[in-house]
Amino acid sequence: MSANGSSEAGCRSEVRPSNSTCSQKDLSVTASAISMTVGVLSNSLALFILVTSYSSIRIKSKASFLLFASSLVVTDLLGHLINGSLVIIVYSFHKKWETFDPPPTSCAAPFGACMVFFGLSPLFLGSAMAVERCLGVTRPIFHSTALASRHMKRLLGLTWLLAALVALLPVLLLRPYRVQSSRSWCFFYMEEPKDWLDVLLPLLFSMLGLMALLLSIVCNALTSCTLLQARLRRKHHCRGTSYHIEMICQLQAIMLVSCVCWGPLLIRVIMMSINSNDEPAYLSLLMVVRMATWNQILDPWVYILLRKAVLKKIFMVFQCCWGLNSLNLQRWQRSILHSSMDTSNSGAGPTDSRFLSRLPQPETAIESIALTQVTVL
């Protein structure tokens, strides 16, 4: 109560424009709270879906993918909770850092370190997921024999460790994070750098982020081309094709979201590091930072929407609207049937060939599924 009263008194004691200023600050607090709430709820829902899938899956390659995906969602969830709480605190004190952060102490270091860590971690995890899927599709024997579950967990730990090391470098090198000109967030010291270290640190952050995006693009392109070649060679009955397509669709969406949200910020930081006197770049830096925060909101919806059941319905809608050849839908149905049987029999031995021979033919696949649903009802 006292803090609210003092802030109201402070607003009343100012000159006439204080009413609009206070309303803008209240609007900023409300917008930050809504953004954090939406992000937390979205990531919680996506985490529930991924954990449920991970506990019931029996395919090793998809289990590794779900492990990285769950870790990515957990990272985004923690990023929303920690960074969102810090931003709300800053706005609640009307961005007066001296009020809640006296000179002997400094909240800029943990704030800036969290910004860097929760910014780089999703990019690194996305590139690690792309590399894992690329090896699983292009080199399946090597992936199944050399990359065990413990190796995936070690790679996950190294990914977080690398992001934490980059986030702690300014503190270790005595180049602390600074409050930016908007006074609402903390980042590297880029205004009038004193020496080469002040230029190197933001460049390192941006170059690592761009390299992670480039690696994701290359690996996803190789994986998509390999699956497309397998389809063109009529190998759509191979084991696990449907869940490969599901994971590739999710990876492509994650890559697109990361490029759109993080690309402008990474490029802007490089431009500001090279030309530190570019005033318009500093004015638009806050806008691209807010754009980057949407990455943590959109990531979980990739796993919520781009699931096999949802993709199947989207494919059927496209088939009905554009009048595609029904043979494509029948092949999709047969691929799902084969993948489901392979998944259910992966722990009990090879699939019975006599059972496979009893599957409905392509021209009766949809009718058989419809009759089965009617019988169950």
- Tell me the pLDDT tens digit for each residue of 40-75: 898 888 888 888 876 666 565 667 878 888 899 999
Q: Which two tokens stand for residue 88?
A: 């709300």
Average pLDDT, rounded, for the chain: 75
Whether residue 149 is contained in a domain is answered as yes
- If asked whether residues 267 and 369 sit together in one domain, one would say no
Q: Using the 3D structure, point to which of 256, 277, 306 is the last residue of a domain.
A: 306
Are 333 and 242 members of one domain? no
pLDDT in the model for residue 9: 38
DSSP category for residue 233: T
> Greater confidence, 39 or 349?
39
Q: How many domains does the chain have?
A: 2
Task: Provide the CB-side half-sphere exposure for 228 (13 A, CA).
Answer: 7
Q: What is the pLDDT of residue 276?
A: 61
Mean pLDDT, rounded, for 9-36 = 57
Same domain? For 142 and 270 the reply is yes
If asked whether residues 77 and 126 sit together in one domain, one would say yes
Predicted confidence (pLDDT) at residue 307 exceeds the cutoff of 80: no
Task: Specify whether 41 is located in the same domain as 158.
Answer: yes
Q: What is the pLDDT of residue 163?
A: 95
- pLDDT(20) > 70: no
Residue 3: inside a domain, yes or no? no
In a domain, 21, yes or no: yes
Whether residue 330 has pLDDT greater than 50: yes
Cβ neighbourhood burial of 307 (10 Å; 0-12, 13-18, 19+) = middle
| CATH code for the domain of 67 | 1.20.1070.10
Regarding whether 62 and 158 lie in a shared domain, the answer is yes
**Which pLDDT score is estimated for 12?**
36
- What is the C-alpha R_g of the chain? 25
Residue 28's pLDDT is 65
- Shared domain for 298 and 358, answered yes or no, is no
Task: Work out the number of other CB atoms within 10 angstroms of the CB of residue 61.
Answer: 21
Same domain, 254 and 340: no
108-122, 216-230, 354-368: range with highest mean pLDDT? 108-122
Is 6 a domain residue?
A: no
| Whether residues 85 and 222 fall in one domain | yes
The pLDDT confidence band at residue 341, using thresholds 50, 70 and 90, is low
Which of the listed residues 306, 340, 361 is the one where a domain comes to its end?
Answer: 306
Tell me: do 224 and 367 sit in the same domain.
Answer: no
Pair (359, 266) in one structural domain: no
Q: Is residue 4 part of a domain?
A: no
Higher pLDDT, 182 or 361: 182
Q: Is the pLDDT of residue 167 over 80?
A: yes
Q: Is residue 2 part of a domain?
A: no
Query: pTM of the entire structure?
Result: 0.73
For 182-197, letters b (16+ CB in 10 Å) and e give: eebbbbbbbeebeeee
Q: Can you list the alpha helix ranges (DSSP code H) found in the chain?
A: 2-12, 18-56, 60-92, 97-100, 108-138, 140-146, 149-172, 196-232, 241-274, 279-293, 295-305, 308-322, 326-344, 353-357, 365-376
Q: Is residue 144's pLDDT more than 70?
A: yes
Residue 162 is assigned to a structural domain of this protein:
yes
Which structural domain, as residue segments, surrounds residue 345?
318-376
- Which of the listed residues 267, 285, 306 is the one where a domain comes to its end? 306
169: pLDDT strictly greater than 90: yes
Per-residue confidence (pLDDT) for residue 323, from 0 to 100: 57
Same domain, 203 and 164: yes
Q: Is the dihedral of CA 278, 258, 305, 32 positive or negative?
A: negative
Tell me whether residue 79 is in a domain: yes
